[in-house]
Amino acid sequence: MAKKNTQQDAKWLDKKALKDCIIHHLHSTLGTDENKASKKAWWNATCAAVNELVFERATRTQKTHYQQDTRAVHYFSLEFLMGRLLKNNLTNLQVDQVVSDALAELGLDINELAEEEPDMALGNGGLGRLAACFVDSLATLGYPAIGYGIHYEHGLFTQDFHHGRQVERPDSWREYGNPWEICRPESIQEIPLYGYVETRYDENGNISKEWHPGRIIKGVPWDIPVVGYGAKTVNILRLWESRASDFFNWDVFNAGGYLDAQVENVQAETISKVLYPNDNTDAGKELRLMQQYFFCACSIKDIVRRYKRAHGDDWSEFTKQIVIQLNDTHPAIAIPELMRILVDRANMQWDKAWDICQQVFAYTNHTLLPEALEKWSVRLFEKVLPRHLEIIYEINRRFLEDVVEKVYPGNDAVKRKLSIIEEGHQKMVRMGNLSVIASFKVNGVAEIHSKLVKSDLFPEFDKIWPNKLTNVTNGVTPRRWLKSCNPLLSDLINKHVDEDWPVNLYKLKRLADKADDAEFQQAFLAIKYQNKVKLAQVIEQETGIKVDPEAMFDIQIKRLHEYKRQQLNLIHIMALYKRLLENPNYEMPKRVFIFGAKAAPGYHMAKEIIYAINRVAEKINQDSRIKDKLKVVFLPNYRVSLAEKMIPAADVSEQISLAGKEASGTGNMKLALNGAITIGTLDGANIEIAEEAGEDNVVIFGLDVDQVKAKRAHGYNPWDHYYSNNELKCVLDWFESDFFTPGKPGELAEIKRSLLDYGDSYLTLADFESYSDAHKKLDKLFIDRARWAKMAIINTASMGKFNSDRSIQDYVDRIWHLTPCTIK
């Protein structure tokens, strides 16, 4: 809190004034009273009270940025996985205690009220959550920044299980209004789509292009304040909602009655209706291209409008003021859009415009998976964005003739590979190549990933521009992912470390001094136990399954994907079950395996894996022969708010992707920060986590990147493992029986087929034995409670690097070059 409080701020130090404020909002904002108010109404009234602080500071921040004409980063992302905002805002405003006390006097529990808030799930997984952690850190560090994205009416679907199978229901997060957002009709934008391009010549014979769009869509901005920790800076997340425009293009209509039926059918509102539920796959759908263009065009117009307010038609300061970060290639269409604005609208020479673009855009690559690298068919592009296709061709022509030719003279193979246009039966626009060519920096998201971006994905680009490709290792905000989600551990930390650790996470290192201290170990383990008791309650509520908080809680939470290898976890659980059936005295601590994962609705094998886990869980959980030594829980509807309950209770963190496939991972960081021991492959940020925590404090298994390459080069054959490991063979054969699916033999057989007949694309069987050995190692470590406590403490103590504040500072130093701005 600021020392000199305005009158506004004064009540935030005073329970009684705060109570009055909440009740005032209950009456005048919610139109109800204390006697009949629902919990939802109380939650709303509390949010309204908090917003008095939030919006006042947001306004102050925006005013200061405007007055000082600050350089700002514009974070373009198709996804922002924000989760709930009430507790986060209270934490960052540092009024959580006073609000909690005030509510208690009203007979209300802050935690119960917080449960009333629907998650703001405008993202799929790691990429969207990263964007949310980054806007938190940008505000915390006082950097001028704005997040730009889509105001989806429906976020990521909610997940139910029906007889073990995933069922999706639409997510209606703002059906009954959302207290955190403000509509800004004064900043509405109009966005063209479809139509044709006219070529014109002026009296001097100079060529110019005019796009005659077939349709105009309105973009309505909704602003969500992003409160930095300490609440000095409150930045804005601006999300665009699409609406039908009253505008009708007679020009196009008269030019030949040209409005094809499909164009007419597209309802403008559908553009921002729903988030595409694919994680790490490209669906290549027309509506998705329109979503990408819609939000980029709105955002670029918004940026240009704001720039012109300060600089008029003088473009000379543009690159000093503006940097745009592309979160993956999803917003890459912003590149030809800015070119179009500069060349067609501002009548700028191509070279000058291109120069500006190359100083404005930077691109973050999030994956090497070929199925996730975005490509759009030239045919679709021409239909939806005809002028942008022309601009892309011109960017490409100049790149190949002026740039590639100099470094690779006459080398058509390299030109074919680097071209933005992929030739072939269906010509395609490669958004990754466009992004690298137009950006001044390209970063991967963990050391190994960035190395592979250079060596395997874009080696020729690296040769052309040796300083363009770089690394910024991902991070997570410790405000949400430790302070707010794990209050018990936070209080313990506060007793031993300066209380500013949430903005200075390296200070946790101090805890390592206590790693051997028996009393501290006890305290640490006691907190883990209490968190496990709480999660056990959630598990029983959600699934009816009773689990023992004394057992080892082994957690795998992340999107369901074959590369993340939930199937490896599953076959290992089946192997444990088999060992217990064969030998009821099989030596192992009690274990609970807990999953949380959504599968993309169109990803068949992912859904089969969910089904298999649920069927195996059902059988194991009701088998009295194994005396509760093994339990398997699949919590439905994994999302940010559920992650916040699971992570503090984890003993073990499963990070078992095939080496080379997980760009970074951020779930790995959240779990380790809360004292979970990682069982993981040498992939993504696991490598850096192992470096920071020390090899003795993580359990590494499996093939590394080079061994994977070697194995594939020699021709990987999963049957070798099937025939050489009898336990593995028996487990895989179970999938074909009706052991887990009584009366329905073969219901799970596709999983076996994918691991054998279809070639086991993610080398699951190759890593099984090593994985099984790693779990045996965990068993031994877990029984030695002091040893385990020490490892867990060292993990928490060593996670300073994985603070998203550090990531943001790396972006600022290496890419954005921003200056923090002090707000009053």
Ligand X SMILES: *Cc1c(COP(=O)(O)O)cnc(C)c1O
Least distance in Å: CB of 241 to ligand X?
23
Task: Tell me how far apart the alpha carbons of residues 242 and 221 are, in angstroms, rounded to a whole number.
Answer: 9
How many other C-beta atoms can be found within 10 angstroms of the C-beta atom of residue 390?
Answer: 18
For residue 27, give Cα distances in angstroms to 19, 45, 100. 12, 9, 20
| SS3 category, 430 | strand
- Nearest CB to ligand X, comparing residues 596 and 718: 596
Dump the DSSP string for 195-226: -EEEEEE-TT--EEEEEE-SEEEEEEEEEEEE
Strands (E), 318-473: 322-327, 361-364, 375-377, 421-422, 428-430, 441-444, 469-471
Segment 543 to 562, residues that bind ligand X, using CB under 6 A: 558-559
Q: Specify the residue, 136 or 241, whose C-beta has the smaller distance to ligand X.
A: 136
What is the per-residue binding string for ligand X in 700-739, x denoting contact by CB under 6 A? ----------------------------------------
Q: Which is nearer to ligand X, 12 or 595 (CB)?
A: 595
Query: Which one of the spans 413-421, 659-667, 707-715, 766-774 is the region binding ligand X (CB under 6 A)?
Result: 659-667
**Minimum distance between the CB of residue 126 and ligand X, rounded to whole angstroms?**
4
Taking the CA atoms of 655, 657, 659 and 661 in sequence, report the sign of the dihedral they define.
Answer: negative
Q: How far is the CB of 74 from ligand X (least distance, A)?
A: 23
Q: Are 182 and 110 in contact (CB under 8 A)?
A: no
Per the listing, tokens 């307010």 go with 309
Distance of CA 244 to the CA centre of its chain: 30
Report the interhelical angle of 39-68 vs 86-93 (nearest 10°): 50
Least separation in angstroms between CB 334 and ligand X: 25
| CA dist., res. 158 & res. 169, Å (int) | 5
Q: How many CB atoms lie within 10 A of CB 817?
A: 12
Looking at the Cβ atoms of 121 and 298, the one nearer to ligand X is 121
Closest to ligand X by CB, 125 or 219:
125
* Helix locations, 626-784, DSSP H: 640-646, 667-673, 686-693, 705-713, 718-724, 726-734, 749-755, 764-783
Distance CA 520, CA 514 (A): 6
Residue type, 593: F
Binding segment for ligand X (CB under 6 A), chosen from 190-198, 403-411, 662-670, 698-706, is 662-670
**CA pair distance 89, 523, nearest whole angstrom:** 28
**Residue 665 binds to ligand X (criterion: CB under 6 A):** yes
Binding-residue pattern over the window 126 to 165 for ligand X, x denoting contact by CB under 6 A: x--x------------------------------------
Q: Contact 81/131 with Cβ under 8 angstroms? A: yes
Residues 6+ apart with CB under 8 A from 523: 492
Closest CA to 295 of 336, 349, 250, 241: 241
* CA atoms of 562 and 553, how far apart (whole Å): 23
Note whether 450 and 364 are within 8 A (CB). Answer: no
- Which lies closer to ligand X via its Cβ, residue 25 or residue 670? 670
State the nearest-atom distance from the C-beta of 665 to ligand X, in Å: 4
- Residues numbered 114 to 133 that lie near ligand X (CB under 6 A) are 125-126, 129
How far, in whole angstroms, is CA 364 from its chain's centroid? 13
CA dist 705 and 799 (Å) reads 24
Of 18 and 121, which has the nearer Cβ to ligand X? 121
Among 228, 444, 660, 667, binds ligand X (CB under 6 A): 667
Residues annotated as catalytic (active site), given as ranges? 366, 558-559, 564, 666, 670
| Per-residue contact string for residues 468-497; x = within reach of ligand X by CB under 6 A | ------------------------------
The nearest distance, CB 280 to ligand X, in angstroms, is 9
Minimum CB separation of residue 662 from ligand X in Å reads: 7
Nearer to ligand X, 61 or 678 (CB): 678
Q: What's the min distance (Å) between Cβ of 153 and ligand X? A: 20
| DSSP conformational letter for 513 | G
Give the three-state DSSP class for 737: coil
- Number of residues lying near ligand X (CB under 6 A): 12
Enumerate residues 639-658 that contact ligand X by CB under 6 A: 639-640, 643
Residue nearest to ligand X (CB): 667
Nearest approach in angstroms of CB 119 to ligand X is 8
Nearer to ligand X, 279 or 390 (CB): 279
CB of 635 to ligand X, least distance (A): 12
SS3 552: strand
Cβ closest to ligand X, residue 565 vs residue 615? 565
Q: Phi and psi for 245 in degrees, rounded to 5?
A: -100, 145
- Element containing residue 238 per DSSP (H, E): strand 234-244
Task: Using the minimum distance from each CB to ligand X, give the nearer residue, 280 or 764.
Answer: 280
Angle, in degrees to the nearest 10, between helices 764-783 and 566-582: 60
Stretch that binds ligand X, among 171-179, 404-412, 582-590, 636-644 (CB under 6 A): 636-644
CB of residue 286 vs ligand X: minimum separation in angstroms? 27
Question: Residue type at 577?
Answer: Y
Stretch of 429-437, 663-671, 699-707, 744-752 contacting ligand X, by CB under 6 A: 663-671
Question: Could you give the CA distance from residue 13 to residue 531 in angstroms, rounded to a whole number?
Answer: 30
DSSP symbol at 596:
E
Binding site for ligand X (CB under 6 A): 125-126, 129, 558-559, 639-640, 643, 665-667, 670
